[in-house]
């Protein structure tokens, strides 16, 4: 482990909230990965005779209007919600890094055109843009992932551009140019690895946003469609019975809250540990 990594871990471990967020995220990943082993019931199996049963030893989180076990559906729903979050962020990071790298490295008119395009994209309210596109394409898990990804890359592009504007004048870049290396090699092999720190922070925070957006779309009926369970559509199915079956809205709402909060705390911790200017505050 090199000195930079040791320094990072030393400062990161001081932030107890960030460490707690990381532990919760690891637990959520474990639960999502082990859903088929942990879930006591088939999440899609209906039993009308057991509908709207309150939490008990038989059904830990109660049952829904079709008699399906809410605990099992929550476990399987975590897979879908996390998958949407990570795939959407992967798409946004790829687009954002590419646009930011090109703009920051070449500068001049290329930078001006790309940054004006970013400004135009930022003018549109993100959620309503996503809602409009999903409504036109049709609600599905794939469409939700792709649309969230292609409408949330602008912040990443700006961070990467700023890093490239700083790094492109460093001695190691000038040396690579003097050796006759191609621009693509300089960008992706020399500059990009040194400018990824803010990308990691942005990606962590964007996963939380993507999970929240997916839940919002599913709540409105434009996200992952039943019978596939996601935290958002479990929540929206329960709103009809909010006064008779409180558990149908409380438990998925808590799951979304805890997940989003954990990713935000982790992102804040990464930012503080990676930025030398913020390390002295803790």
> Residue 276: what pLDDT?
57
User: For the CA atoms of 32, 45, 253, 61, what is the dihedral angle to 10 degrees?
Assistant: -90
- The CA distances from residue 216 to 16, 133, 137, 169, in Å, are 30, 15, 17, 43
- DSSP class per residue in 39-64: -SS-TT---GGGTTPPS-SSSTT-B-
Predicted confidence (pLDDT) per residue in 223-260, tens digit = 777 778 888 888 888 888 888 888 888 998 899 899 98
> Residue 95: what pLDDT?
92
Domain ranges, residue 116: 3-51+58-279
Q: What is the pTM of this model?
A: 0.83
- Which CATH number covers residue 148? 1.10.3720.10
Spans of the chain below 50 pLDDT: none
> Residue 275: what pLDDT?
65
Structural domains of the chain, count: 1
């Amino acid at each position: 482990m090199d000195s930079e990594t040791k320094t990072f871990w030393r400062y990161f471990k001081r932030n107890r909230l960030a460490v707690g967020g990381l532990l919760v995220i690891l637990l959520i990943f474990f639960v999502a990965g082990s859903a088929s082993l942990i879930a006591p019931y088939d999440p899609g199996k209906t039993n009308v005779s057991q509908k709207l049963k309150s939490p008990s030893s038989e059904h830990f989180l109660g049952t829904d209007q079709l008699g399906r076990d809410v605990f099992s559906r929550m476990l399987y729903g975590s897979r879908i919600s996390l998958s949407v979050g990570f795939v959407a962020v992967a798409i946004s990071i790829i687009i954002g890094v590419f646009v930011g790298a090109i703009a920051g490295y070449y500068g001049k008119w290329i930078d001006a055109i790309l940054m004006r395009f970013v400004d135009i994209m930022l003018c549109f309210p993100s959620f309503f843009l996503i809602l409009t596109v999903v409504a036109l394409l049709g609600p599905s898990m794939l469409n939700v992932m792709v649309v969230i990804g292609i409408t949330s890359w602008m912040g990443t592009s700006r961070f990467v551009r700023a890093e490239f504007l700083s790094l492109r004048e460093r001695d190691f870049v000038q040396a690579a140019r003097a050796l006759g290396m191609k621009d693509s090699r300089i960008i992706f092999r020399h500059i990009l690895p040194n400018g990824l720190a803010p990308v990691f922070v942005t990606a962590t925070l964007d996963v939380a946003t993507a999970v929240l957006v997916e839940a919002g779309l599913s709540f409105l009926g434009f996200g992952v469609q039943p019978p596939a369970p996601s935290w958002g559509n479990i929540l929206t199915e329960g709103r009809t019975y909010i006064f008779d079956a409180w558990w149908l809205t409380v438990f998925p709402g808590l799951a979304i809250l805890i997940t989003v909060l954990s990713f935000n705390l982790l992102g804040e911790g990464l930012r503080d540990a990676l930025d030398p200017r913020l390390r002295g505050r803790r």
